[in-house]
Amino acid sequence: MTVSRDYIEREAKNRYPKDERLQMAFINGFLNGVDSTYSPKDNDFFVSVATGLRELWPPGEKDGKYPWRDSIPNLVKRLEFIWKERDISRSYTVEDCLTAGRRYLTQFEHNTKYMQVLKYFIFKQNTASVSQNGKVTYTYKSTLCDMLESNPVVSTSVDENLLIDYENQGELV
């Protein structure tokens, strides 16, 4: 399916009728997502993590509204962004990331009400603040990174002692 730039511009104006900066951000973000030129060869790690996590998450929609999964290119972009944003220098393996995902999902086996959709498990924008000069600064919450950083030696099997009770340690997003 091909989407015309005119359609994208109309959609941006409908969503943000009074803010040209948000309109341009929407247009550029959409076009970057559609015209993504990332090469799987350059991003083997992120593509493997995105593919593996996507397979772990349930199909369908949360509450009939939000898809549990997302597209591989979007997940790759989110992974690359949060790795850069959090300045992750430790070399995690694909299996470390998938084990963190399995540990997270195990906590919600019987009740998915508070379980995050995959894109928010990777990261979710928490807050925005505006400085006096008008610069907007965002903070991000990454359950994936929190789980990786809190358990540097990750087992490939789920162990009840390794599960982290995020309900009591912080806000579910």
pLDDT at 78: 93
pLDDT at 127: 79
- Among the listed residues 37, 36, 38, 14, the one whose alpha carbon sits nearest the alpha carbon of residue 26: 14
Q: What is the number of structural domains in the chain? A: 2
Instruction: Assess whether 156 and 76 both reside in one domain.
Output: yes
pLDDT 10s digits, 91-107: 788 999 999 999 999 99
Instruction: Assess whether 136 and 90 both reside in one domain.
Output: yes
**Any residues with CB less than 8 A from the CB of 81 and at least 6 apart, and which?**
123
Instruction: Assess whether 133 and 55 both reside in one domain.
Output: yes
pLDDT 10s digits, 34-69: 433 334 444 788 999 999 999 999 999 998 888 999
Instruction: Assess whether 96 and 145 both reside in one domain.
Output: yes
Which residues are bridge partners to 130 per DSSP? 136
Instruction: Assess whether 12 and 43 both reside in one domain.
Output: no
What is the Cα–Cα distance from 107 to 167, expressed in whole angstroms?
10
Instruction: Assess whether 75 and 29 both reside in one domain.
Output: no
Instruction: Assess whether 87 and 51 both reside in one domain.
Output: yes
Instruction: Assess whether 27 and 85 both reside in one domain.
Output: no
Residue 162: band (very low, low, confident or very high) from pLDDT cuts 50, 70, 90: very low
- Among the listed residues 141, 115, 119, 111, the one whose alpha carbon sits nearest the alpha carbon of residue 128: 141
Instruction: Assess whether 6 and 52 both reside in one domain.
Output: no
Residue 85: band (very low, low, confident or very high) from pLDDT cuts 50, 70, 90: confident
Share of the chain above pLDDT 70, in %: 72
Instruction: Assess whether 25 and 44 both reside in one domain.
Output: no
CA torsion through residues 93, 51, 122, 163, sign: negative
Instruction: Assess whether 44 and 12 both reside in one domain.
Output: no
- Range 84-94 average pLDDT: 80
Share of the chain above pLDDT 90, in %: 34
What is the Cα–Cα distance from 41 to 44, expressed in whole angstroms?
6
The residue length of the chain stands at 173
pLDDT at position 153 over 50? no
pLDDT at position 1 over 50? no
- Range 65-79 average pLDDT: 91
Query: Domain limits at 18?
Result: 1-35
Backbone angles phi, psi at 141, to 5 degrees: -115, 125
Instruction: Assess whether 42 and 29 both reside in one domain.
Output: no
- Cut 0.85: pTM above it: no
